[in-house]
Homo-oligomer: A and B are copies of this chain.
Amino acid sequence: MPTSRRKSASPARDRAESDISREGPPARPPAARESPWRASRERLRDRQVKREAVIRAAAQSFNRKGYHNTSLDDIAAALEVSKPTVYYYVSNKEQLLFECFVAGIEPILAACREARLMKAPARERLKAVLRYYGRAVASEFGWCMVRAEDQDLSPAMSGHIKALKSEIDQGIRRLLREGMQDGSIHACDPKMTAFALAGALNWIAHWYRESQSLSGAQIAEAFISVFESGLTPRPSAGSARSARHVSARPIR
């Protein structure tokens, strides 16, 4: 299967100039959707800007049609450019997917790292992370981030992606453990719980395209409140989760 054409005929040019979304977790670029080419056909040779436009266009196409059903001609057409132009900014299709993935996951990673510096109880820190997580999955790169699979990528890329994903997973597990220690989180299996949380959030990418009735932030909020309280009704039914002394209504 690895026919292994010669790798990267274009040298050092496009490596390592990634990071479409290097702004911190909070903000996100305000769209500016149009193709820079058409916009100002000349005098805008800002390579970085164009490169980002390519990646964004790829993300949109991947969103709509999926990775395998998107040809590079499609992406080029969306930008009103020809295919070699796309290759001028990106070395191959795989890298395109990878960049989309990174753009999607970067804010989550930032949130994770930031959460370790906060001094709030672990449940609050976890909620903050999950908030960013949810928003990221509902972003334009969410689909790519979530669906970027080892199956479609070379071992190297796949390794990178797995490492990043694992960092997030470990971060969540750590927060869960800390929360169980400081008493802010219910006793649970950190691994399974982390899987459940991340899974629920990841899945947003699958239905968000279809029905965007809510904003990413709203969805994140709704999910967090589900995670917090669970299904079993709480005795102190009010708005507060303060639940004092209560007769343990036996489950089952």
Contacts and interface: CB of A to CB of B under 8 A. Distances in A.
Given A195-B203, A198-B203, A203-B200, A248 B252 contact: no
Contacts of A236: 246-248
A177 to B, nearest CB: 11
A26 interface: no
A187 interface: yes
Interface in A205-252: 206-207, 219, 222-223, 225-248, 250-252
A69 B152 CA distance: 8
Contacts of A66: 149, 151-152
A199 interface: yes
Contact of A123 (B227, B231, B235): B231
Contacts of A207: 195
A68 B97 CA distance: 15
A2 to B, nearest CB: 12
Contact of A251 (B180, B193, B206, B240): B240
B188 A229 contact: yes
B186 A244 contact: no
A228 B232 contact: yes
**Max chain B Cβ within 10 angstroms of own Cβ: one of A152, A222, A243, A245:** A243
Given A200-B199, A239-B250, A189 B222 contact: yes
Interface of A: 64-66, 68-69, 123-124, 126, 149, 151-152, 179-180, 183-189, 192-193, 195-204, 206-207, 219, 222-223, 225-248, 250-252
25 contacts: A64-B151, A66-B149, A66-B151, A68-B152, A69-B152, A184-B233, A185-B231, A185-B233, A186-B242, A189-B222, A189-B226, A189-B243, A192-B219, A192-B222, A192-B246, A193-B231, A195-B203, A195-B207, A199-B199, A199-B201, A200-B200, A229-B232, A232-B241, A235-B246, A236-B246
